[in-house]
Amino acid sequence: MNRTPERRSAADPTRLSVQGAPAEAPAECPLCPRLVAYRAANAKAEPSWFNGAVPSFGDQNARLLVVGLAPGRSGANRTGRPFTGDYAGELLYQTLLEFGFAQGIYKADPHDGLELRDAMITNAVRCAPPENKPTPAEIATCRAYFSARLSALPRLTVLLALGRIAHDQTLAALGLRKAHYPFAHGARHPLEGGRALYDSFHCSRYNTNTGRLTADMFRSVFAAIRREIDAAKS
């Protein structure tokens, strides 16, 4: 059963540290002052929105982890589920459904009943950043949660980085050097333990509108991942 979005309490922020962070951040995580201020401004402007650190969504035993950049202000930051409610989610969830990594109907609503199968979606940075641009310090701070997320997936086999920031966050969390794993759309980087990191351009409206990423290009990456995961079954 997939987890539904929930607000996690920040009742004990002293427990939050780079060492021993939980896989999911409390909705009111206090660690990035600029993003905390942005959350507060969004909560004031749109009090009915989620306006918190967005939890990962999907199968706790997933072999595929899709890594996005950060919640979009009026997408995941509004709905509380990654990629839900903005343009990027349309292509991502449609593709996950097509390749058997989701079941149900995506309605851009966290209560649409959609479930991920053998897959989870998370973000390199859990809070919405202004203009979708987290700072290097924010990316580094949120890495504690990302690293914990990786560690909490016992069957993790394939990581899919959507964009360079997700790619770099993944490498940093795994202690790998960027120079040895250059980002490229469609690239597959073998990792230790039989795992692999795939890269794709982010499925943002900007990338699809400009033709940098087409639906077919995106589908090709998922087709390769599907083959790899199916082969690992046998």
Where on the chain is the footprint of ligand SF4 (CB under 6 A)? Answer: 25, 29, 31-32, 35-36, 53, 125-127, 138, 141-142, 145
Q: Which residue's CB is nearer to ligand SF4, number 67 or number 125? A: 125
Residues 6+ apart with CB under 8 A from 117: 59, 100, 101, 102, 103
**In the complex with ligand SF4, which residue's Cβ is closer, 26 or 89?**
26
Query: Which of 29/221 has CB closer to ligand SF4?
Result: 29
Q: Give least dist CB 20 to ligand SF4, A.
A: 14
Cβ nearer to ligand SF4, comparing 22 with 100? 22
Query: How far, in Å, CA of 129 to CA of 152, rounded?
Result: 25
Enumerate residues 6+ apart whose C-beta is below 8 A from 97.
103, 104, 106
What is the rounded CA–CA span in Å between residue 206 and residue 32? Answer: 27
Instruction: Decide if 118 contacts 58 (C-beta within 8 A).
Output: no
Least distance to ligand SF4 from the beta carbon of 204, Å?
19
State in angstroms the smallest separation of the CB of 31 from ligand SF4: 4
In whole angstroms, the minimum distance from the beta carbon of 170 to ligand SF4 comes to: 15
Nearer to ligand SF4 by Cβ, of 127 and 197: the residue is 127
Give min distance, CB of 36 to ligand SF4, in A: 6
Q: Which residue, 34 or 185, has its beta carbon nearer to ligand SF4?
A: 34
Token pair 């639906």: residue: 215
Please report, as a single letter, which amino acid is at residue 85: G
141 or 207: whose CB is closer to ligand SF4? 141
Half-sphere exposure for 32 (CA within 13 Å, toward CB): 28
* In the complex, least distance from residue 146 CB atom to ligand SF4, rounded to whole angstroms: 9
Nearest distance in Å: CB 160, ligand SF4: 20
Which of 25, 3, 10 lies closest to 146, judged by CA?
25
Tokens of 30: 């206090």
Q: What's the CA gap between 168 and 142, in Å, rounded?
A: 13
**Nearest residue to 164 via CA among 127, 120, 134:** 134
* Closest CA relative to residue 96, chosen from 187, 226, 230, 188: 226
